[in-house]
Amino acid sequence: MTVPCFAFPRENVYTGVIMEPLAKLFGSGARLKTLRLFLFNKDNSFSLAEIALRTKLTKDAVRREVVELHAAGIVRKKGAQAPVHYQTNPRFEHLGPLETFIRETTNAHPQDILKTLKRAGTLRVVALSGFFTGILEPQIDLLIVGDNLEERVLSTAVRSLEAQFGREIRYASFATPDFRYRLGVYDRLLRDVFDYPHRLLIDKIGL
């Protein structure tokens, strides 16, 4: 299975939420989100409602984009029962180059990730691992440590990131005292993050 390894732009270049150049290239951010969902989840099929949920787009926008992608041959209908499901078309002539292009040009902007996550509380550590680095071994892709974290808000924030990156993000969150304890006893989950390639977006603990 091909795993997207996200590039990280220089942090002093990006501030706030950015209109991705690729969105302009493909005509809209909706088109780009829908493409990512299909290309990063090639073995899965989705109904229009599921696509809308995963991409945070309206059903009308999803219907419009899926019609275009189906007409282009990038996606195909899966099964005959309602609701209709769609899946990446493995016979699309340019699937390989398109997937490579989308994967290699999908940037993880640290500023945008942190802006999304900080709604949940005071962040002390944020580490990217797993599919963000192209390494499958770690059990999680995102580690969040903070004070007064609101799990419901954090879950919503992660779902927002999933819509941006086009696939599920495995994450774990800890209160700062719990994280310090787990770090001290060499917790397996933490070792799975820090013993493999990872990227610290915030470290206010001194790792």
Summarize pLDDT for 92-143 with one digit per residue, the tens.
Answer: 999 999 998 888 888 778 888 999 999 999 999 999 999 888 787 789 999 9
176: exposed, middle or buried (Cβ count in 10 Å: 0-12, 13-18, 19+): middle
Please list, in sequence order, all residues whose beta carbon lies within 8 angstroms of the beta carbon of residue 83, skipping any fewer than 6 positions away. Answer: 47, 48, 49
Query: Parallel, antiparallel, or unpaired for β 122-128 and 85-88?
Result: unpaired
DSSP helix/strand/coil, 107: strand
Report the candidate in 39, 195, 203, 36 with the shortest Cα–Cα distance to residue 129: 195
pLDDT at residue 4, as a whole number: 52
- pTM metric for this prediction: 0.76
Dig out the tokens for 52 from the structure: 């809308």
In angstroms, rounded to a whole number, what is the distance separating the alpha carbons of residues 90 and 22? Answer: 23
pLDDT at residue 82, as a whole number: 84
In angstroms, rounded to a whole number, what is the distance separating the alpha carbons of residues 55 and 32? Answer: 10
Q: Find the mean pLDDT for residues 180-207.
A: 94
pLDDT at residue 14, as a whole number: 31
Task: List domains and CATH numbers for the chain.
Answer: 21-104 (1.10.10.10), 110-203 (no CATH)
pLDDT at residue 79, as a whole number: 80
Q: Find the mean pLDDT for residues 45-73.
A: 95
- Name beta bridge partners: 85: 47, 78
